[in-house]
Amino acid sequence: MKRYGKSHKLLLAAWLLFCGCIVAGVFFAIELTAGPPYDPLLPILVGIAAIPFVWLLSSGWIDADLFRKALRRNTGEDGTLNP
């Protein structure tokens, strides 16, 4: 699967939507245990707001791995920079 292919984008969108729904569901369950009045708008907004944070957390390990590889390539055994 190509990283920026159509199937990868669909899989990423499905993953982000799933995580947003899970966050909204948990927030709605917490709201149900608090008692009436029940307002479904707030959990929906929290679920939508959680999507960018899930995206950052999901893609952050790729950037960290690339940085670690570049650092290893540009440093020597003793940790000093190669000329």
pLDDT in tens, the chain (83 residues): 555 678 877 888 888 899 899 999 999 998 888 888 888 898 899 899 988 888 777 766 666 677 777 777 777 666 666 65
Kindly state the tokens that stand for 42.
């707030």
Instruction: State pTM to two decimals.
Output: 0.62
Specify the pLDDT at position 21: 92
From CA 81, how far away is CA 83, in angstroms rounded? 6
Which residues are 75's β-sheet partners?
81
Q: Where are the alpha helices (DSSP H) in 1-40?
A: 6-34
Rounded Cα distance, 76 and 82, in Å: 6
Task: Taking the CA atoms of 12, 55, 46 and 18 in sequence, report the sign of the dihedral they define.
Answer: positive
